[in-house]
Amino acid sequence: MKFNGYKYLILSDLYRYKGDIRAVNFLGQMFFGRTFPYNFWLRTCQFLKSKPIFKYSLYYVARLILNHYIFKLGIAISPSTEIGSGFYIGHFGGIGVNKNSKIGNNCSMSNGVTLGQANRGRNKGYPVIGNNVYIGPGAKIVGAVKVGNNAAIGANCVVTKDIPDNAVVVGVPGRIISYKGSQGYVNYTDYEDKI
C-alpha cells in the first residue's frame, strides 16, 4: 500500500463519519470520536505492515495502540482484513470480523455484528460484503456468503445464504422482504471528488 492510498482510506473514513475532511474534524474525531480512532489505527496498522521498513518497528507500536482500542471498544477486526474505502462503525461493542472476510466500499457496521467462518458444509469459508452495505445491530453473517451491493441487513438477522444486490434482509434465518436497499442507511459516500 502506498502512502497516498493510506491517506485516501483515512480521509474516506473521516468523510463517512462527518461529511467533511477538514483537519479540525480529524482532530475532533481522534480526541472525542468513539469509533473513528479505531478506524485510524486499523488503517495505520495495515499501512505499516505493508512496508518492510516499518513492519518490524513502528508497526508494533501501532498494533499496541490498536489492541488498546480492541479491549476498550470491543471491536475485533484484524489488520489483515481486506476493507474498502469509507468504512463506518456506527456503534462500538461486540463486533467480531474474521480476518479472511472481505468488506467492500462504504460499509456501515453496527454493534454486535459478527462476520464469521464456517468450517464445514456447503457454506464453508468466509463472508464477502459488497459496496454500500448496511449491517444492523446484532447481525450475524456466517460462512462463504456473498452480500450484494447496496444491501441492508436488519437487526439480529442471521445470514447463511447469498444476498442479491439491493435486497433488504431480516429475521432468523434471513429472508428478503424488499429490494429497497440501503439507501438512507449508508450516507456520505460522495467523497471521490472531495479527497
pLDDT bin (cut points 50, 70, 90) of residue 194 is: confident
Output the pLDDT for position 22.
Answer: 95
pLDDT digits (tens, 9 = 90+) for 74-86: 999 999 999 999 9
pTM: 0.94
Residues forming CATH 2.160.10.10 domain(s) in the chain: 76-183
Output the pLDDT for position 85.
Answer: 97
Residues 6+ apart with CB under 8 A from 93: 73, 74, 75, 111, 112
Active site residues: 91
Output the pLDDT for position 181.
Answer: 95
DSSP string, 110-163: -TT-EEE-B-SSTT-B--EE-SS-EE-TT-EEESS-EEPTT-EE-TT-EE-S-B
pLDDT bin (cut points 50, 70, 90) of residue 27 is: very high
Output the pLDDT for position 193.
Answer: 84
- Pair 38, 75: CB distance under 8 Å: yes
Output the pLDDT for position 121.
Answer: 86
Cα separation, 195 vs 26, whole angstroms: 14
Output the pLDDT for position 55.
Answer: 85
**Is the pLDDT at 107 greater than 90, yes or no?**
yes
- Pair 12, 83: CB distance under 8 Å: no
How long is the chain? 195
pLDDT digits (tens, 9 = 90+) for 117-163: 999 988 999 999 999 999 999 999 999 999 999 999 999 999 999 99
Output the pLDDT for position 34.
Answer: 93
Q: Which of 86, 67, 64 is nearest to 76 (CA)?
A: 67
Residue 73 in grid coordinates: 471498544
pLDDT digits (tens, 9 = 90+) for 55-106: 888 999 999 999 999 999 999 999 999 999 999 999 989 999 999 999 999 9
Going by their DSSP bridges, the two strands 140-142 and 134-135 should be labelled as unpaired
CATH for 76-183, among 3.10.180.10, 2.40.10.480, 1.10.10.10, 2.160.10.10? 2.160.10.10
Output the pLDDT for position 78.
Answer: 95
CB 145: neighbour CB atoms within 10 A?
22
Distances (CA, A) of 52 to 57, 82, 130, 151: 9, 19, 30, 37
**End-to-end CA gap in the chain:** 17
The CB-side HSE value for 52 (13 A sphere, CA atoms) comes to 0
